[in-house]
């Protein structure tokens, strides 16, 4: 699953690499020239970091509290108050990032030097006031254009928004309706194209002021390794999982061809993008009924068990909490249950999208969900508590270190725990009948469902930022945005648009993370890391057997290894943190292949006579 939790504000800004509020147009000369000219000392750097940490806790808490109220009590007033608090935070952080430059190059201990580096990397925007003003205006305009996008084929009375169009893509099997919905959403992005080109230019200005060749290099530099080495690293990880993706692609293409026929879904070449059950073809689980290996095989019915046992929202959360405490982690603070929003209120509008919140960097943690008693919600709770326990584990660190070791870690933790929710585990907590393992057919069905989400996502998770890196560097120029986008989608995903596209279009802009300027590589990395974490915890628990059958539930040995990773936060380079759990400083996708070996073994003979690839 993919969620977008409310991470601590400092970490969120560092991840985005762009402080985009108009408040940044304020005082750019926080230090008098005389102060800036006076050589700084290590003692002054230490004092600066201590003051920064104290102020950050207060001002970020104020912004987080305002954002929480906005999300759980939506009114024009709460939106205005949240925006004002966020502006104050952004303006302050911009000043601090600029001030931190005074202490570069001083002989400092490793932790202090790392704090200054991370603070510096949180502010990759132009220093020129007019350029910054233009950047913030463009950023707001791009995000607004996406958020207000509608497809109106026959005037205002016919308008459909993204939710309406996704409903068609997700569930329809009518190829004409699918094509119209797919094309309809892509009418909202061409007007963004000119603004986006200028937005790229201005981001490059900010990155170059920090000493980077372009904004893509600046984004990659936040991974504790040379930017080019990181690019090579993600290609290495992709090469490990590409054979599994190609086997899945081959089976799905064959089943779509059987269902739709050659005229709609050719038996060879790329798969038409509108047929995969997702507006961006990034996850394919909605077409599972078309590709189910054994339609008659029964899957575990956790939802029925939750309903039959009358599970409340709080009981579901406490069930998930018990999973973590059985690993040796501490109980959630009492305030968690008192302050979280677990059910949808009857008296007001709220944002129901599940998210995890760290309000004060010191233990005020919460989740926001509109919980229903079903299997998907239960898994989501286990996932969100992964964020919460990460927040609790590292809250003794300085604020600047209160984030994942890199941005893929935070998303991977909860999904690691979800992988451990095996039939044996679910039986142990009374949510499945005890005794007996699923049949081989049921296992293949379950693995296919998971692969349509987790494996199908991998190339898309990789290519979104690869496209941006090429745009930032100029390898894909403003006259070839669409060609560059579809070249990457065909190369990595093996998909193609349902109709020819041209440079009159801007199909990359139809994905929120492009106009929203949100880095995407974190999701690719999280999909690799969750399996690597899971395998390491299974090893720590002493498990021997097929990886997909492992549950490390109740293993304090596994929990202790995970806790060591969690409490380190971002205080050290991520390879060192990774080694605390896995014993290796290198990300490795081998566990992905191990986990899906039953599905691979099933796909291999089926694909033998087919022309796989594209």
Active-site residues, by number, are 384, 513
Which residue matches tokens 């207060």? Answer: 58
What is d(CA 400, CA 526) in angstroms, rounded to the nearest whole number?
21
> Phi and psi of 32, rounded to 5°?
-60, 150
Which residue matches tokens 């594209």? Answer: 614
Low-confidence ranges of the chain (pLDDT < 50): 1-35
Give, for 581, the enclosing helix (H) or strand (E): helix 574-582
Would you call 511 exposed, middle or buried from its count of C-beta atoms within 10 A (0-12, 13-18, 19+)?
A: buried
Give, for 50, the enclosing helix (H) or strand (E): helix 42-72
Are 583 and 536 in contact, with CB atoms under 8 Å apart? yes
What is d(CA 253, CA 246) in angstroms, rounded to the nearest whole number?
10
**Closest-CA residue to 319 (of 388, 382, 412, 363):** 382
Considering only the top CATH level, what class is 222-311+323-330+377-614? mainly alpha
For residue 36, the model assigns a pLDDT of 52
**Closest-CA residue to 268 (of 258, 260, 277, 257):** 257
DSSP string, 415-477: HHHHHT--HHHHHHTTSS-SS-PPPHHHHHHHHHHHHHHHHHHHHHHHHHHHHHHHHHHTSS-
For residue 75, the model assigns a pLDDT of 87
343 by DSSP, 3-state: which?
A: coil
Q: Counting runs of H as helices and runs of E as strands, what totals does the chain give?
A: 25, 6
For residue 93, the model assigns a pLDDT of 82
Torsional sign, CA 410, 56, 577, 232: positive
Structure tokens at 441: 């057919």
For residue 94, the model assigns a pLDDT of 78
Would you call 146 exposed, middle or buried from its count of C-beta atoms within 10 A (0-12, 13-18, 19+)?
A: buried
Query: How distant is the alpha carbon of residue 387 from its chain centre?
Result: 12
**Closest-CA residue to 3 (of 551, 530, 556):** 530
Would you call 52 exposed, middle or buried from its count of C-beta atoms within 10 A (0-12, 13-18, 19+)?
A: buried
- In terms of phi and psi (left: phi > 0; alpha: psi -120 to 50; beta: otherwise), the region of 384 is alpha
For residue 506, the model assigns a pLDDT of 98
For residue 137, the model assigns a pLDDT of 86
Longest dimension (CA), the chain: 78
Angle at which helices 521-540 and 574-582 cross, to 10°? 30
DSSP string, 281-341: SS--GGGHHHH-S-TTSPPP-HHHHHHHTT--HHHHHHHHHHHHHTTTPPPPPHHHHHH-B
Are 133 and 176 in contact, with CB atoms under 8 Å apart? no
Number of other CB atoms surrounding residue 28 within 10 Å: 13
What is d(CA 575, CA 207) in angstroms, rounded to the nearest whole number?
25
What is d(CA 109, CA 130) in angstroms, rounded to the nearest whole number?
37
Structure tokens at 165: 């169009």
For residue 24, the model assigns a pLDDT of 34
State the number of CA atoms in the 13 A half-sphere of 371 facing the CB.
Answer: 28
DSSP string, 513-551: TTTTT---HHHHHHHHHHHHHHHHHHHHTT--S-GGG--
Are 230 and 219 in contact, with CB atoms under 8 Å apart? no
Are 438 and 551 in contact, with CB atoms under 8 Å apart? no
Are 138 and 198 in contact, with CB atoms under 8 Å apart? yes
For residue 433, the model assigns a pLDDT of 83
For residue 90, the model assigns a pLDDT of 75
**Closest-CA residue to 475 (of 493, 494, 488, 462):** 488
| DSSP, res 492 | I
What is d(CA 278, CA 166) in angstroms, rounded to the nearest whole number?
7
Render pLDDT for 489-538 as a digit per residue (tens, 0 to 9): 999 999 999 999 999 999 999 999 999 898 999 999 999 999 999 999 99
Give, for 367, the enclosing helix (H) or strand (E): strand 365-368
Outline which parts of the chain fall under CATH 1.10.1370.
222-311+323-330+377-614
What is d(CA 271, CA 265) in angstroms, rounded to the nearest whole number?
7
């Amino acid at each position: 699953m993919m969620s977008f939790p409310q991470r601590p504000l400092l970490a969120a800004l560092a991840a985005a690499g762009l402080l985009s509020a108009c408040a940044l147009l304020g005082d750019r000369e926080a230090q008098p020239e005389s102060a800036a000219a006076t050589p700084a000392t290590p003692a002054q750097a230490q004092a600066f970091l201590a003051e920064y940490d104290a102020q950050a806790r207060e001002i970020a808490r104020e912004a987080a509290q305002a954002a929480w109220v906005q999300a759980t009590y939506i009114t024009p007033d709460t939106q205005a108050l949240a925006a004002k608090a966020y502006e104050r935070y952004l303006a302050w952080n911009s000043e601090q990032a600029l001030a931190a430059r005074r202490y570069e190059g001083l002989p400092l201990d490793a932790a202090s030097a790392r704090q200054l580096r991370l603070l510096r990397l949180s502010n990759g925007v132009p220093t020129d006031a007019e350029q910054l003003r233009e950047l913030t205006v463009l950023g707001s305009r791009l995000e607004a254009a996406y958020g207000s996008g509608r497809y109106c084929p026959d005037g205002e009375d016919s308008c459909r928004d993204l939710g309406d169009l996704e409903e068609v893509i997700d569930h329809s099997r009518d190829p004409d309706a699918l094509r119209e919905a797919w094309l309809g959403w892509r009418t909202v992005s061409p007007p963004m194209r000119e603004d986006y080109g200028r937005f790229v230019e201005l981001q490059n200005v900010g990155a170059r002021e920090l000493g980077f060749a372009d904004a893509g290099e600046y984004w990659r530099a936040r991974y504790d390794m040379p930017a080019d080495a990181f690019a090579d690293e993600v290609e290495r990880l992709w090469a490990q999982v590409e054979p599994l993706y190609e086997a899945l692609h081959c089976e799905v293409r064959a089943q779509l061809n059987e269902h739709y026929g050659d005229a709609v879904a050719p038996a060879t070449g790329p798969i038409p993008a509108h047929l995969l059950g997702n507006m961006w073809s990034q996850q394919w689980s909605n077409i599972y009924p078309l590709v189910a290996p054994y339609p008659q095989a029964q899957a575990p019915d956790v939802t029925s068990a939750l309903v039959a046992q009358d599970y409340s929202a709080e009981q579901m959360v406490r069930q998930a909490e018990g999973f973590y405490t059985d690993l040796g982690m501490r109980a959630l603070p009492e305030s968690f249950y008192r302050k979280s929003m677990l059910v949808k209120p009857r008296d007001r509008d709220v944002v129901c999208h599940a998210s995890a919140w760290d309000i004060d960097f010191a233990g005020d943690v919460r989740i926001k969900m509109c919980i229903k008693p079903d299997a998907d919600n239960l898994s989501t709770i286990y996932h969100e508590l992964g964020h919460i326990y990460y927040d609790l584990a590292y809250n003794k660190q300085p604020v600047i270190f209160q984030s994942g070791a890199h941005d893929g870690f935070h998303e991977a933790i909860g999904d690691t725990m979800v992988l451990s929710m095996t039939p044996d585990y679910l039986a142990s907590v009374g949510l499945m009948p005890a005794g007996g393992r699923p049949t081989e057919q049921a296992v293949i069905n379950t693995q296919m469902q998971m692969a349509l989400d987790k494996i199908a996502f991998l190339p898309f998770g990789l290519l979104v930022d690869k496209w941006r890196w090429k745009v930032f560097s100029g390898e894909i120029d403003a006259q070839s945005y669409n060609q560059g986008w579809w070249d990457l989608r065909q190369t990595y995903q093996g998909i193609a648009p349902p109709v020819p596209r041209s440079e009159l279009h801007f199909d990359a802009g139809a994905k929120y993370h492009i106009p929203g300027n949100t880095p995407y590589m974190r999701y690719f990395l999280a999909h690799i890391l969750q399996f690597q974490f899971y395998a390491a915890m299974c090893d720590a628990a002493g498990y021997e057997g097929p990886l997909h059958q492992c549950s490390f539930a109740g293993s304090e040995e596994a929990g202790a290894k995970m806790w060591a990773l969690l409490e380190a936060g971002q205080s050290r380079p991520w390879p060192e943190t990774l080694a605390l759990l896995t014993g290796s400083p290198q990300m490795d996708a081998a566990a992905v292949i191990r986990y899906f070996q039953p599905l691979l073994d099933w796909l291999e003979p089926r694909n033998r006579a087919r022309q796989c690839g594209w």
